[in-house]
Copies of this chain bind each other. A is one copy, B any other.
Amino acid sequence: MTTRKSVSKRPTLSAQDEYRADVAAYVAAGGDELVQRVITAVHGLAHKLDQWYARQLADLDLSAGEWAVLSRLARSNEDEALTPSQLAEATSVAPSSMTHRLDRMAERDLIARATDPDNRTRVLITLTDEGWATFKAAVRESDMVESDVLGPLSSRQRENLASLLEVLIAGLDEAPQV
């Protein structure tokens, strides 16, 4: 009985093993080790979180793109209304795609369209009560997952991590066009 090439073995690497293999490959190809550890970890985390969000948003019948619109509107509904173009820019999508996305969201009464009285070329988008409720529900659900992810860190470590990341965020504005 020879073992006949164990091709069917596929143990599904753990997130940690995936991470290590990725870093190794990037370093082997000429990347700096410390840089690759940080960047690969950031991507791995973001990606994993995105997968979880997608599952939770599906419960609320929202796509990631729709969530992005809700989220962007939620953080500036009172003071300033946003136009479709601004939403497209903010959520990294083409203006034409935003038109359709807003169509669907208006159909479901999550947002409302109104032409700007001061400039009738413009359309102003606002969150409806329904939209607000959906936003808050999503945040509360997500916060639970996110708290779990940060579970292994103490309060002090979280503070430390947040500070380091915020330094990088601040630095993003330095050299905008790379």
| Chain A positions near chain B (C-beta within 8 angstroms) | 4-5, 7-8, 10, 14-16, 19, 21-22, 24-26, 29-32, 34-39, 41-49, 51-52, 55, 71, 74-76, 86, 92, 116, 118-119, 122, 135-136, 139-140, 142-143, 145-153, 155, 157-162, 164-173, 175, 178
Contact, CB under 8 Å: A164 / B168: no
A36 to B150, CA, bound (A): 10
Contact, CB under 8 Å: A160 / B160: yes
A140 to B31, CA, bound (A): 6
Can you name 18 A-B pairs with beta carbons within 8 Å? A8-B119, A16-B170, A19-B166, A25-B71, A25-B75, A29-B74, A31-B146, A32-B147, A34-B162, A39-B149, A39-B150, A41-B162, A41-B168, A42-B42, A42-B49, A45-B165, A149-B171, A160-B164
Main secondary structure on chain A at its contact with chain B? helix
Contact, CB under 8 Å: A42 / B46: yes
A34 to B25, CA, bound (A): 33
Closest partner residue, chain B, to A151 (CB atom) = B171
Contact, CB under 8 Å: B75 / A172: no
Determine how many copies of this chain the complex contains.
2
Partner of A152, one of B21, B39, B41, B168: B168
Please provide the 5 A-B residue pairs with the shortest distance between their CB atoms, ordered closest to farther: A25-B75, A46-B46, A41-B165, A29-B139, A15-B172
**A-B contacts besides A15-B169, A38-B161, A42-B42, 4 pairs, CB < 8 Å:** A19-B169, A34-B150, A47-B92, A153-B164
Contact, CB under 8 Å: A7 / B159: no
A7 to chain B: which residues have CB within 8 Å? 116, 118-119, 122
